[in-house]
Amino acid sequence: MAEFETGNVSLYLIDPTKLGAEFSPHRSAIAFRVPDVEEARRKLEEAGVGFQGETLDTGVCHMAFFEDPDGNALMLHRRYAPHAD
């Protein structure tokens, strides 16, 4: 997995087959960096947004996946571990 931070937007590239998922084009989530994933998720859920599964803790970041009304893949994201040099 490669991750690129560009200001307040994080872009990442993954091979979903290495995560046990089938490859499907155009389904990579756009990540929104937030100060607190659980707080942002709670607010969105209160507004009626449904999430796909539980919030993930990868050991370096928290991620929560959802879709916009048109079905575009989106994610709340917060990196909490320092980048390795």
Residues 65/53, Cβ–Cβ less than 8 Å: yes
Sketch out the chain's domains with CATH numbers.
Answer: 2-13+26-79 (3.10.180.10)
Helices (DSSP H) in the chain: which residue ranges?
A: 37-46
Average pLDDT score over the chain: 87
Residue 63: enclosing H or E segment and its boundaries?
A: strand 61-67
pLDDT digits (tens, 9 = 90+) for 42-76: 999 999 999 999 999 999 999 999 998 878 899 99
Strand partners, 66: 51, 74
User: Which residue is listed with tokens 């991750």?
Assistant: 3
> Considering the entire predicted model, what is its pTM?
0.68
Q: Which of 25, 3, 30 is nearest to 14 (CA)?
A: 3
